Chain A
C-alpha cells in the first residue's frame, strides 16, 4: 500500500559545510542518513527522521538543520497536521497509535498561571548565601503527636518508618527496560549523590546494583516484574503502582524488542516477549484489596519501610487518595495528565486524566479537611520542567515531586516521543547496545546531579525571598501563591487568590 504520509521533519544539509565525515550516518538509529560512495554525497530519508537532533548536535561542522516540515495542506483549524497524520497511519495499519513521553497537547499548564510571593518591608527576605536554608524532607506517615515523659524528660513517638531526602525532588518511575541500563544506573548514582531517591519503575532492579545504594523506591506494579523479597527489602520505600498519568486506566506495555537478555533476567520474563502489565492489579478490585496488598508489603518488609501508592490524577482523586490513606498508604503519589511514559496509546495519553496541579490542590485540601494529612506524604508527578514548578507544587501541598521527563532531558533527551520504538539515538530509551553505550553513566549522573543542585539553589533563593528558611514552612502554604489569568472555579480548586487580592 502506498504510504500517504509526508515526512514530519525537513533536513537541510549545507553542502558547503559537509565534510562527508559520516557522523550523521552512524548516529541515526532510524537510518535517516546514507552515504553514497559513488557520488560522494550524503542522502537523507526524511520520512525516517524523528527530529531528535542527535545528528545536528554531533555534526562537527554544523552542516545540518532539522526542522518541522511545513506542509502545504490547506490550513484547517479542525483538522490539524497530527489528525491527518494519525488517521493516515491508522488507515494504513489498522492499529492503535502509540507514542512515548508526556502529553504535548495545550491543556492549561497551571504552573504558568501561578505566581509566587516575596517579602517587602514588613518581613525581611532571607539571603540563602548568608543564612541557613533547609530543604530536607522526611517522607512517611507522621503520628498525631509526641508523648512527653516528665520523669525522664524525654519525648516519645510511635514513629512509622521515615525516609529522608535532602531535596524535595525525586527521580520518577523510569523502568529498566524502558530506559537503558546506563541511564538507569545514572539515575541510581545521581539519587545517591544528591541525597534523594530514584524509582525503579515496574522493571525490577538489576541484582548487581542492589548493594550500591538503597536510595530507591521499588515499584510493585500490576505485572509484578522483578518483584521478590530481596527486591522489596533492598529499597527505602515500596510503591504500589495503580496508575500512571500518561495512561490512566491501562497497563504497561514494554515491546518484546526491548526485552533483551538482561532485561528478561531483571524482569523475570522470557527474552523477547512483550512485557504486558495488566490494566488493574488483579488482586486489587477494591479499596479493601489495596489495604491487603499494602499490609502484605509491610509484612514482607517488616514494617521498616513506608509504602507508597501511586495513582493517575483522575476526577475523584481526592476521595480516592483519602481511601488510600485510610487503607494504610504512608505516601500517596499522584501522576498528572502531563506525566511521561515509555509507551502508551496516544489517544489515552492525550485525553485521559486531569492536570496534576488541580488534583494536588484537591487531595491536599481533602486530607486536611478529614484531619489525616499528617498520615501520608504527598508526592506529585507529571510535567515538572523547572524549580519554579516544583516550589509552586510544594506551596500547593506536596511534600516532594517526582521528575521523570526532566531527568531524561538532563541526560540528553529531546522529547522526540519515540521511546516506544526501542530506538533512541541518545542512548537513553533503548536496549540496543550500539545506541545505549552512547550514554556514559558517570557523565549522565553528573548532569543529573548538576540539575538537582541548580534547582536546589533556585528553590532556596525563592524560599528566602518569601522570608522562609525551611521548606516545610511552605508546604501547603497557599498564601504565597496568586493566580493570573485563571477563572474563579480554577482559583477555587487551587485554593488561591487572584493576583492583586
Chain B
C-alpha cells in the first residue's frame, strides 16, 4: 500500500495544519455561469492563502454526460496513468476520456497530468450499490496505485485543484470555459506540508465536496470514530476527516444536512437543557450521545456541496469566519464580505451566521434555509442582519 501520509504529511506531524479562505456561490434557479467570478472573488482573499494550494468544485458542468460518474484523476507518472486506466477498464465501462484542458500559466509549476473519465458501473452493480462501488474503487486507486489520486468522482461535477494560488489554478484549468450553477473555491495556507496537488481542497468523494478552513482540535477523536467505521484517514488532514464525517452521516446514515450539522457543531448542553419541548431535547441528547465522537471541536468553517445543495457551517463557538449573502437567485458564502461585494456590487443582504447554524441553499425548493426556516430577504429580519 502506498503511504499517502508521507506525501501529504512529510514531516509526520499529527496532521497537516492549514488555514484558509473559502468562497462558494450557487444559483437556486440552476442558472449556470462561468468560473470567472469565483476566481476574482477568491483572488480578493489572496492573503488567506500562501500559494501552496488552491482549488475549485463546479456542479452542472457536464450536462452531456450527466448520468455518468465523472472521474478527475491526477497522475504523476505515465505508468500511473496506464495502471489506473487498466484498473478503470476492469472496473467500469469507460464512455469517454480526455486530458483536462489546461494552459501554461504563471504561478503554476510542475503540474501533474490531470485526466477525466466518464464511466458507467458494470451491469452487475445495482443502482442502489453503485455509489458504494465507486467509493470502493476510488479508495483502491488512492491507496494502492502509486502516483495516482482521484480529485473527484461524482456525476455532472468536477474538482480542479493544485499547488498555487487559486486564481492561478483557475487560470491553469481554463475555468472561464465551464458553466456551473454551484462554484466552490478554496485558498490554502498550510504550515507543514510540501506541495502536492492531491492535498489541495476541495476534498471530494462521489459528488460531495468539502472546502474547509480550520484546525480541528478533536482530530484524534474524530479519526478514531471514523476508522472504527471503515474510513482510513490516509492523508492526515482535518479536511479528510470532515469529508468522511459528512459521507458517514449523510450518505451512509441517511441523515439530513441540518441534523448532520447538529452532530458536527452540536448545541451546547446548557442550550439543550433550556429547551422546553421534551421531544426535541431528547432528540438532541441522543445525537450527542451516539455521535459524541463526531463533534468537530476547535475552529472550523466548511462549505459542503453536492448536486443540488450548498451548505455553509461554522463551529459552535465561531472561531473561523463565515459570511452569507443573498441576491436574487444567488446564495454566496465566503470567509469575508469584500469578495462578495467585489463580484456583486449590488449585494444588499449579508449576514454572519451563528456558530453551529448551517446555511443550506437548496435547489429543489429554491430556498435558503437558516435556523430551520427559509430566509426571505427583506422580510425575515431575524435571519438577516443587513450589512448596511
Chain A residues with CB under 8 Å of chain B are 119, 122-124, 126, 131-132, 134, 136, 138, 142-143, 145-146, 148, 150, 153-155, 157, 159, 162, 368, 371, 373-374, 466-470, 472-480, 497, 501
Contact = CB atoms under 8 A, between A and B. Distances in A.
Given A155-B283, A473-B218, A468 B256 contact: no
Contacts of A124: 299, 319
B191 interface: yes
A123 B12 contact: no
Given A468-B297, A474-B221, A138 B14 contact: no
A474 B266 CA distance: 15
A368 B228 contact: yes
Contact of A136 (B227, B228, B269): B269
B221 A143 contact: no
A371 B227 CA distance: 9
Contact of B12 (A142, A473, A501): A501
A373 B299 contact: no
A159 B221 contact: no
Interface residues of B, number: 43
Interface string B13-31: 0110101000000000000
Interface in B242-286: 253-256, 259, 266, 268-270, 279, 283, 286
Contacts of B17: 122-123
Interface hub of B254, B283, B293, B297 (most chain A Cβ within 10 A): B297
A361 to B, nearest CB: 13
A480 to B, nearest CB: 7
B217 A467 contact: yes
Contact of A368 (B219, B227, B259, B292): B227
A466 B319 CA distance: 14
B215 interface: yes
Contact of A467 (B222, B228, B298): B298
A469 B191 contact: no
Given A476-B220, A477-B220, A479-B15, A145 B269 contact: no
A469 B269 contact: no
Given A143-B290, A146-B255, A474-B221, A469 B297 contact: yes
Given A122-B191, A124-B319, A477-B219, A155 B286 contact: yes
B68 to A, nearest CB: 28
B356 to A, nearest CB: 11
B289 A148 contact: no
B221 A472 contact: yes
Nearest to A482: B14
B287 interface: yes
Interface hub of B17, B266, B295 (most chain A Cβ within 10 A): B295
Given A373-B228, A475-B221, A475-B292, A123 B259 contact: no
B108 interface: no
B323 interface: no
Contacts of B255: 146, 148, 155
A143 B286 CA distance: 10
B297 to A, nearest CB: 4
B290 A145 contact: yes
A131 B283 contact: no
B215 A122 contact: yes
B297 A123 contact: no
B220 A478 contact: yes
Given A123-B17, A123-B215, A501-B12, 8 more contacts: A119-B217, A122-B19, A132-B317, A143-B290, A368-B224, A368-B227, A468-B218, A470-B266
Given A478-B220, A479-B220, A146 B297 contact: no
B109 to A, nearest CB: 26
Contacts of A371: 228-229
Nearest to B284: A155
B349 to A, nearest CB: 27
Interface hub of B17, B220, B254, B293 (most chain A Cβ within 10 A): B220
A129 to B, nearest CB: 14
A143 B15 CA distance: 29
Contacts of A142: 289-290, 292
Contact of A469 (B14, B256, B289, B317): B317
